Structure 1
Amino acid sequence: MKALVKEKAEPGLRLMEVPEPVIGPGDVLIKVLRTGICGTDLHIRAWDGWAQQAISAPLVVGHEFVGEVVETGRDVADVTVGDLVSGEGHLVCGKCRNCLAGRRHLCRATVGLGVGRDGAFAEYVALPASNVWVHRVPVDLDIAAIFDPFGNAVHTALSFPLVGEDVLITGAGPIGLMAAAVARHAGARNVVITDVSDERLALARKVGVSLALNVAESTIADGQRELGLREGFDVGLEMSGNPRAMRDMVANMTHGGKIAMLGLPSEEFAVDWARIVTSMITIKGIYGREMFETWYAMSVLLEGGLDLAPVVTGRYSHRDFQSAFDDAASGRGGKVILDWTS
């Protein structure tokens, strides 16, 4: 089968022939239809410091996908051939304290699809049936392909109550955009998103934010004044991993405000802990999705009319993966999709 492979410990990816995966008794084999390019995939292609530490070549990359089940293992009962599925890319041990307590997203032995084992940028991918999400209601294939990052957005946005709250989102990348759409859909009063890309801020306006703020030109405090906010933001969603963004968020929260932090910094940085203490601000780290509560919430949000169409801005054949990756790496658009049927 054809697959996108990190063949050697060097920059770049290669579309090449690899053996089709073999499934075990508890696995399913999935014919991949579409995939989404993630920031993780960009790191792997660039072969940066993180990738050099995390990846062992050769490796089939990719973890965001939608496909059709074509084979099931002997012990699989709830997934059938022909099902349209996406996959939870965090494979857990099932034996640790958190797994046994049903908190699988907190497993300390998590292995990442397309990072710690061969992934989904291929014509076929194998997964344990316990990591498969079956789409029981109709869903657009582009959206089904990005359920993994959509789940990051939902997990982050719904960490704290949003009804009637003023929400600040730092970072208008694809996950920030989806979080903004979720926050608006979930009943936030104001949703403000910040970035330095005018193109991404334009996308944010399409998903219905109250204010899209270019922080290279205006401050978050300016945004507060424009909206008439006198006490700061109730909920913050940090999506950028940028030290300045986190510090600016803390400085603009109301007393008792709550911050969910998904953005992954590249290194340690200082924050005003005195402000966090005296303002009684709660900070919660977010990694991945809650299995499978977040997935249920995603499907329900879409059934309830949540529109993520503006977030998908690029569609390419898998054969044109170089252009697709360049598009995703530009930092100007939303999600980029690879079609594995063309």
Structure 2
Amino acid sequence: MKALVKDKAEPGLWLQDVPEPETGPGDVLIKVLRTGICGTDLHIRAWDGWAQQAVATPLTIGHEFVGEVATVGRDVADVKVGDLVSGEGHLVCGKCRNCLAGRRHLCRATVGLGVGRDGAFAEYVALPASNVWVHRTPVDLDIAAVFDPFGNAVHTALSFPLVGEDVLITGAGPIGIMAAAVARHAGARKVMITDVSEDRLELARKVGVSLALNVAEHSIAEGQALLGLREGFDVGLEMSGRPEAMQDMIANMTHGGKIAVLGLPTAPFPVDFARIVTSMITIKGIYGREMFETWYAMSVLLEAGLDLSPVITGRYDFRDFGAAFDEAAGGRCGKIVLDWTSA
């Protein structure tokens, strides 16, 4: 089968013929239809410091996908051949304290699909049935292909109650924009998103944010004034990983404000802990998705009319992966999808 492979310990990716993945009695073999390009995939292609530490070559990359079940193992009961499915890309041990308590997203032995084991940028991908999410209701294939990052957005946005709250989102990448759409849909009063890219801020405007603010030109405090806020934001969603974004967010929260942090910094940085303490601010780290409560919430949100179509800005045949990755790396787009149906 064709697969997009990190074949060598150097920058680049290679489209190669590789064997179909083997499956066991509890596994599902999935024919891939579409895949989404993630920042993780860009790091692996660039072969930066993180990728050199995290990835052993050769490796089929990719973890955002939708596909059709081709075969199921003899012990699989709830997934059928022909089902349309996406997959949870964090494979957990099932034995640690958190796994046994139903908190699988907190497993310390998590292995990442397309990072620690062969992934989904291929004609077929294999997963344990326990990692498969069956789409029981109609869903657009492009959206189903990006359920993984959509889950990051939902997990972050729904960390704290949103009804009637004023929400600040720092970072208008695809996940930040999806989180903004979720916050509006979930009943937030005002949703402000910040970035320095006018292209991405324009995408955010298409999902209905109250204010998309270019922080290279205006401060968050100025944004507050434009929205008519007097006491600061109630909920913050930090999506950028930028020190200045986190620092500005803390400075613009109301007393008792709550911050969910998904953005991953590249290095430690100082924050104003005196402000956090005296303003009684809660900060919660977010990683991945709750299994499978977040997935349930995603499907229900789409059923209830949440529109994520503006976030999908490009689709390429998988053979044109070079151009697709270049666009994704350019930082001016939303989600880029690879189509594998021509394989």
Amino acid at match of 2:201: L
Shift of 1:234: 0.1
1:172 match:
172
Structure 2 match to 1:24: 24
Residue-by-residue CA offset, 1:144-176 (whole Å, 9 max, x unaligned): 000000000000000000000000000000000
Distance in 1 between residues matched to 2:130 and 2:225, nearest whole Å: 48
| Letter paired with 2:32 | V
Shift of 1:103: 0.4
CA distance in 1, matches of 2:53, 2:259: 29
Correspondence 1:181-220 to 2 at 5 A: 181-220=181-220
Deviation at 1:208, TM superposition (A): 0.3
Matched, 1:277 2:260: no
Take 1:115 and 1:340, find their aligned partners in 2: how far apart are those partners? 20
Tell me the SS of whatever aligns to 2:71: strand
Indicate the SS of the match to 1:248: helix
Runs of at least 4 residues of structure 1 off by over 2 A? none
What is the identity percentage for the equivalent residue pairs of Structure 1 and Structure 2?
85
After TM superposition, give the deviation of residue 90 of structure 1 in Å. 0.2
What is the rounded CA distance, in whole Å, between the counterparts of 2:283 and 2:185 in structure 1?
23
Aligned to 1:228: 228
Matching residue's letter, 2:306: L
Q: How does 1:280-299 map to 2 (within 5 A)?
A: 280-299=280-299
Shift of 1:101: 0.4
Q: How does the TM-score come out when normalised to structure 1?
A: 1.00
TM-score under structure 2 normalisation?
Answer: 0.99
- Name the CA distance, whole Å, in 1 between partners of 2:77 and 2:227: 53
Alignment partner, residue 324 of structure 2: 324
* CA–CA distance in structure 2, aligned partners of residues 139 and 233 of structure 1: 34
Q: Deviations over 1:174-219 (max 9, x none)?
A: 0000000000000000000000000000000000000000000000
Quick one: which amino acid aligns to residue 306 of structure 1?
L
Corresponding residue number in structure 1 for 2:131: 131
- The amino acid that maps onto 1:254 is T
Task: Tell me how far 1:22 sits from its aligned partner.
Answer: 1.1
Cα distance in structure 1, aligned partners of 2:252 and 2:241: 17
SS at match of 2:24: coil
| Number of the residue aligned with 1:40 | 40
Partner residue in 2 for 1:246: 246
SS in 1 for 2:280: coil
What is aligned with 1:97? 97
- CA–CA distance in 2 between the matches of 1:77 and 1:227? 52
Q: Deviations over 1:230-276 (max 9, x none)?
A: 00000000000000000000000000000000000001011111110
**Matching residue's letter, 2:75:** D
Residues matched between the structures, number: 342
Counterparts of 1:47-66 in structure 2, within 5 Å, are 47-66=47-66
| Separation (CA, whole Å) in 1 of partners of 2:275 and 2:190 | 23
User: Which ranges of structure 2 fall in alignment gaps of 5 or more residues?
Assistant: none
Secondary structure of residue in 1 paired with 2:75: coil
